[in-house]
Chain A
Amino acid sequence: MTTPSRRRRATYPTLVLAAVCSLGVGGAACGPLEAQAPDDPSTPPAKEQRQPIAPATAVDAGTSAPQPNDFFGGGAPYEAYPEDGGVP
């Protein structure tokens, strides 16, 4: 194995960062996100309408249905929100 030298960095936000930015409390971390997102004048003030995006939670081992990853394996996460999952 080699230690990778990354050619690029991810600039799309993680779910946690997206939640913070959506609340408008992310400060500098949300700069590029908000800079490209002009406010819709018809949208109510942020504090009234906006709620955080809940981070993904661990899979319940006793679920009543297999998770999407269970079907064909391969190790690629199927959903960031496993409890919402479902193979299309």
Chain B
Amino acid sequence: MMGNFSLNDDTMVQTAYPEYYEEFVLNKKIFPKRYHLFVLALGLGVLKGLKSEKKPYRDTVRIRDIKDNGRETIEIIYSLAFDKGGKDDWVDLLMCADGGLELIRQEYQTQGAFDLPRLLDEAESLWPDRAKELIGGLE
């Protein structure tokens, strides 16, 4: 794919919750790679307008190493919701992803399982309104 937006290859994905990544990816093996969880958490954070209060500090993965169309997804979301031309845009994106991660963790603890079908159903119903807000920001 030839994207119109491109993040720097060396851009680093960071998080304030490295332990969550460890839990979901390494221990529980719910996601094959950390970036798979990151892309979902980012989508959820954007959908629900979440933002973690903590600043990301721990490196998770470099943009160049993100496969399975994750990079393209991140780039689209970045340009749609975060690219305001400011220096903190990328950090805002990371805090939003951590906000999504907090919610995923919280629901996992409450339900005792990762319920992807429910998340997808929720996405189907909530994205139209949220998309309008985001697209409105473009005009």
- A is bound by B: no
Chain B interface (Cβ < 8 Å from any Cβ of A)? none
